[in-house]
């Protein structure tokens, strides 16, 4: 950068600070995948969505257990073609430390720690029973997630929830095993996909016909290409053949650029071939960062081939956390700001995949696969027997 341009940039930043505005909008914009942003500007609401979908990975609460609430969620679902939603809370809560300079919202906002927060399940159940209008109820599929997956008593929390809200729950998850920095921030023992406490929960899930959404990063940030935690997932899935698993984000996470996506997709193919009880969700930044970094080109050939070869085994989800209102969408210049339309973006981004699949496969990935992993009693209620 030339010295004159550098000075100009610094002056703009300083002006922002002097005006009381934070520097972050400039930084966030620089980090945003510009191609995806441009693509989304042409696809955003109120433009009608091109596909009907199920949001198979969703959190009603964020990392401080805040939420925009049910009316905003139903509006967001309706505007973006979401017929059904996996409805879960957030198993961890971020502590607001006395010394924090400002109140944290996301787990990465500061160095404060997180702890397991079981109340999320009761809050979610009460919300479903009290706040979701009767005519919308069948679109919501509640999952239990508020347990510490390193506690051998965790399965008893699941049993208590099943007992307290008999017949309400449709699944378990998102279960947090190995994560990114979140693992380091969480008090206590490190969670892992095949922890004995989780194995008990998987067995219960298999007996009760409940699907399990598992987040277990395939490796650690420092050694991504070694796929250190792959064996944990293989063991969890292999030792519980009667349990239907959804491996969240295909095991990928931030800082995994060293993983060769073509080889990884091939390896996932062998895992899917071997374990018919395994499904994969493509949610989070994983989709736009690794699977389809160029929205105009669509997903890479390796991923497209993998999904096309196993069309009944993949699903999509927003992985939105607590915020889905579209109220704050308009920029000062009158344009909508796609960075704030997170729910819409995190549903519509999959259109670049769906439009490249055969129509029957697109329908499965977009919608049917999620409905088909739900308990038989739920499928029956939806008229999806067999």
**Which stretch, 4-12, 44-52, 220-228, 248-256, contacts Zn ion (CB under 5 A)?**
248-256
Using rule CB under 5 A, residue 248 touches Zn ion: yes
Question: Could you tell me the smallest distance in angstroms from the CB atom of residue 355 to Zn ion?
Answer: 25
Tally the C-alpha atoms within 13 A of residue 200's C-alpha that lie toward its C-beta.
15
Among 157, 192, 195, 215, binds Zn ion (CB under 5 A): 215
**Which stretch, 93-101, 115-123, 241-249, 368-376, contacts Zn ion (CB under 5 A)?**
241-249
Cβ distance to Zn ion smaller for residue 174 or 232: 174
Question: Could you tell me the smallest distance in angstroms from the CB atom of residue 58 to Zn ion?
Answer: 8
Q: For the chain, what is the radius of gyration of the CA atoms? A: 21
Question: Could you tell me the smallest distance in angstroms from the CB atom of residue 332 to Zn ion?
Answer: 32
Q: Segment 9-68, which members bind Zn ion (CB under 5 A)? A: none
Euclidean distance between CA atoms 336 and 340, whole angstroms: 8
Among 68, 121, 194, 319, binds Zn ion (CB under 5 A): 319
Using rule CB under 5 A, residue 212 touches Zn ion: no
The helix/strand count (H/E) of the chain reads as 17, 10
Euclidean distance between CA atoms 132 and 126, whole angstroms: 10
The answer for residues whose C-beta is within 8 angstroms of residue 6's C-beta and 6 or more apart is none
- The side-by-side arrangement of strands in the sheet containing 140-144 is 53-55, 82-87, 140-144, 171-176, 212-215, 245-247, 278-281, 314-315
Cβ distance to Zn ion smaller for residue 143 or 303: 143
Per-residue binding string, Zn ion, 64-103, x by CB under 5 A, is: ----------------------------------------
Question: Could you tell me the smallest distance in angstroms from the CB atom of residue 193 to Zn ion?
Answer: 12
Among 55, 121, 174, 326, binds Zn ion (CB under 5 A): 174
Phi then psi dihedrals of residue 23, to 5 deg? -75, -15
Question: Could you tell me the smallest distance in angstroms from the CB atom of residue 180 to Zn ion?
Answer: 10
**Which stretch, 44-52, 180-188, 214-222, 306-314, contacts Zn ion (CB under 5 A)?**
214-222
Euclidean distance between CA atoms 127 and 107, whole angstroms: 24
The answer for residues whose C-beta is within 8 angstroms of residue 287's C-beta and 6 or more apart is 316, 349, 350, 353
**Which stretch, 27-35, 162-170, 247-255, 323-331, contacts Zn ion (CB under 5 A)?**
247-255
Cβ distance to Zn ion smaller for residue 125 or 252: 252
Total chain residues near Zn ion (CB under 5 A): 4
**Which stretch, 131-139, 213-221, 224-232, 298-306, contacts Zn ion (CB under 5 A)?**
213-221
Closest CA to 29 of 258, 332, 339, 287: 339
Question: Could you tell me the smallest distance in angstroms from the CB atom of residue 57 to Zn ion?
Answer: 6
Question: Could you tell me the smallest distance in angstroms from the CB atom of residue 92 to Zn ion?
Answer: 11
Euclidean distance between CA atoms 32 and 139, whole angstroms: 32
Tokens 């439009």 belong to which residue? 355
**Which stretch, 98-106, 172-180, 221-229, 336-344, contacts Zn ion (CB under 5 A)?**
172-180
Pairing verdict, β 314-315 and 140-144: unpaired
In the numeric block, which tokens belong to residue 7? 């000075």
Cβ distance to Zn ion smaller for residue 60 or 202: 60
Euclidean distance between CA atoms 312 and 326, whole angstroms: 32
Question: Could you tell me the smallest distance in angstroms from the CB atom of residue 130 to Zn ion?
Answer: 24
Question: Could you tell me the smallest distance in angstroms from the CB atom of residue 341 to Zn ion?
Answer: 19
**In the complex, residue closest to Zn ion by CB:** 215
Closest CA to 111 of 99, 120, 123, 119: 99
The answer for residues whose C-beta is within 8 angstroms of residue 298's C-beta and 6 or more apart is 292, 304, 352, 353, 355, 356
Q: Which residues bind Zn ion (CB under 5 A)?
A: 174, 215, 248, 319
């Amino acid at each position: 950068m030339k010295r004159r341009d550098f000075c100009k940039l610094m002056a703009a930043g300083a002006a922002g600070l002097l005006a009381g505005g934070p520097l972050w909008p400039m930084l966030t914009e620089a980090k945003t995948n510009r191609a995806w942003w441009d693509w989304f500007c042409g696809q955003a609401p109120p433009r009608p969505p091109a596909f009907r979908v199920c949001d198979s990975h969703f959190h009603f609460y964020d990392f401080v257990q805040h939420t925009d609430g049910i009316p905003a969620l139903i509006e967001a679902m309706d505007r973006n073609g979401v017929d059904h939603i996996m409805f879960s809370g957030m198993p961890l809560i971020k502590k607001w430390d006395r010394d924090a300079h400002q109140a944290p919202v996301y787990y990465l906002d500061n160095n404060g720690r997180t702890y397991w927060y079981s109340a999320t399940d009761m809050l979610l159940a009460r919300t479903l029973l009290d706040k979701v209008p009767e005519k919308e109820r069948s679109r919501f599929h509640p999952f239990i997630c508020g347990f510490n997956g390193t506690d051998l008593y965790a399965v008893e929390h699941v049993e208590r929830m099943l007992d307290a809200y008999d017949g309400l729950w449709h699944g378990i998850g998102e279960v947090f095993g190995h994560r990114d920095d979140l693992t380091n921030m969480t008090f206590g023992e490190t969670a892992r996909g095949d922890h004995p406490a989780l194995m008990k929960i998987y067995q219960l899930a298999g007996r009760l016909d409940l699907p399990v959404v598992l987040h277990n990063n395939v490796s650690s940030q420092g050694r991504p290409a070694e796929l250190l935690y792959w064996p944990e997932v293989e063991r969890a899935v292999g030792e519980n053949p009667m349990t239907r698993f959804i491996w969240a984000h295909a095991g990928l996470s931030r800082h995994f650029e060293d993983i060769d996506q073509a080889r990884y997709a091939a390896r996932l193919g062998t895992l899917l071939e071997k374990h018919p009880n395994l499904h994969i969700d493509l949610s989070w930044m994983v989709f736009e960062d690794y699977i389809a970094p160029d929205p105009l080109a669509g997903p890479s050939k390796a991923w497209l081939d993998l999904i096309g070869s196993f069309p009944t085994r993949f699903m999509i989800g927003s992985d939105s956390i607590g915020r889905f209102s579209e109220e704050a969408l308009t920029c000062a210049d009158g344009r909508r700001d796609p960075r704030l339309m997170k729910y819409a973006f995190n549903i519509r981004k999959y259109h670049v995949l769906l439009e490249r699949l055969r129509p029957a496969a697109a329908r499965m990935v977009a919608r049917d696969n999620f409905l088909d992993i739900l308990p038989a009693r739920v499928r029956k209620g939806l008229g999806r027997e067999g």
